[in-house]
Structure 1
């Protein structure tokens, strides 16, 4: 973790994101940078609305944003002894954030959950997907006010090429946490076998083999990631993956879920996988999407 970029709209939810990033910066020694984007289209509209006074209004908005960024940097950084860089950007929001992340070579993008009521779920998913369309960097969506370092982290495993990277990212972001490597398994053709009248004992035996194979793969992934036995535990659930992840979030008391960004082929390289899409807006704890 070399540098953390917080994309903030200076709202209360984004303040939580900045606080979490400051805690991570102190924990990992990473550089902390805050960025706020003023949309160029909105600034241009001010010139039209206020005519000759438009430039003065623009300058006032820029000054207020710089002051708010400086105040936020002080409020989150000083209690932890962390210095936060500040960038006031102008342009299209997603593109500006992505470009700034590239300029900083940010190890992690940190953003806050936005919206309220029935719109909140939609906004969370849309924000993450839009960012992941323009960047290949991991994104931490902060949903809770941070109080301590992450203690229990669920890392769902589907044994795709993304899985190992997700484990390693979890280790970097939460080095002191217990990692729960979760795999939701389903015996292939189980429903069809039951419909066909296959003996239930045979089906259970088939499911047991699928479970044993999944446990072996979890152990292999943990070993490849360099996890010590005391750092992690396996967790197998039977059934649909997204539902199992959300159920275990509550049952395990997890404060972070680390998901992989899955794609098949070039056409889907910058799209969120179906499980990630379903878990991201519904999870109550923070969610980290591992882009690589």
Structure 2
């Protein structure tokens, strides 16, 4: 996994500014191209000069950083435009916004709606981007997909500390107590489950020994989302990595998910990896650049001027 092309959504708000700052730091670190996209929320009216401001922001950023920066203005169905553009990049960066109105209640907050239609990793920025991530908390359940979550964390920042976190379910524990198992039997079961979790944690971390990241491990008990929040605050992690299955809005509203609760409650940035991610490729990013250059929409290369 590698980041060659990054897409960041903006509406020129303070939250969008923080997302742009983080996307810029990541683009510099990975030497990736950066695409700025303006997409108004359903029901919101875009500023009349949004396209001009977007072009100016992209041009100034290209001149200041030396990055390849592109501007993309979405009109019409914003969600469809975001999904289409995200198919051409390796990482989508979005500002954190709280849910508003009845539509938000039915369909979830903006980040969750975007996560349902995008197949690339999505980074939701909640905090100001002053420096690179120091510690990344990765929520794992030891299924095969956990490997992808850890690989994503290592890709985001190759120098940050990686902490693997697993929350042991208490459902079987409750069944034992309901079956009137002895206290000693319950304790023995807890020790055995924790031992198995530790062994699986070691096996998962050993598969990434070649990485330069320092890898730590932690195990909790109880609700995965709540325990992950507790561990994030305790460890001081400034990024949480979580997976999410693709489900319709009604299923998220009815059953919820760990990703949904972390997006709502976490006090740090959250990156969501779909369970059916689109493989990131260098050719996909290059194809996007060539299409933009041929279309002449807003391909802003460092030091270049439109029409030069």
Aligned 8 A contact 1:187 1:206 in 2 = no
Instruction: Provide the rounded CA distance (Å) in 2 between the counterparts of 1:40 and 1:210.
Output: 47
Kindly indicate whether structure 1 or structure 2 has the higher relative contact order, using CA contacts under 8 Å at least 6 residues apart: 2
State the Cα RMSD in Å: 3.3
Q: Tell me by how many angstroms 1:162 deviates.
A: 2.4
Q: Tell me by how many angstroms 1:89 deviates.
A: 2.3
Report the TM-score, using the length of structure 2 for normalisation: 0.77
Instruction: Provide the rounded CA distance (Å) in 1 between the counterparts of 2:214 and 2:136.
Output: 11
Instruction: Provide the rounded CA distance (Å) in 2 between the counterparts of 1:126 and 1:178.
Output: 30
The answer on 1:9 being equivalent to 2:48 is no
The answer on 1:171 being equivalent to 2:173 is no
Q: Which has the higher helix share?
A: 1
Alignment of 1:227-246 (within 5 A): 228=211, 231-246=214-229
Q: Which of 104, 109, 131 is 1:148 aligned to?
A: 131
1:32 alignment counterpart: 34
Report the TM-score, using the length of structure 1 for normalisation: 0.81
Aligned 8 A contact 1:154 1:257 in 2 = yes
Q: What 5-or-longer segments of structure 1 have no aligned partner?
A: 44-57
Q: Which of 188, 199, 202 is 2:182 aligned to?
A: 199
Instruction: Provide the rounded CA distance (Å) in 2 between the counterparts of 1:268 and 1:163.
Output: 23
Q: What 5-or-longer segments of structure 2 have no aligned partner?
A: 278-308
Q: Tell me by how many angstroms 1:192 deviates.
A: 2.5
Instruction: Provide the rounded CA distance (Å) in 2 between the counterparts of 1:40 and 1:248.
Output: 35
Instruction: Provide the rounded CA distance (Å) in 2 between the counterparts of 1:287 and 1:29.
Output: 22
CA 1:101–1:111 in structure 2 vs 1: closer, same or farther (change >3 Å)?
same
CA 1:259–1:39 in structure 2 vs 1: closer, same or farther (change >3 Å)?
closer
**Structure 1, residues 75-130: CA drift from partner, whole Å, max 9, x if none?**
6555544342111222211101111222xx200111001248999x9699522221
Q: Which of 112, 130, 144 is 1:129 aligned to?
A: 112
Aligned 8 A contact 2:83 2:118 in 1 = yes
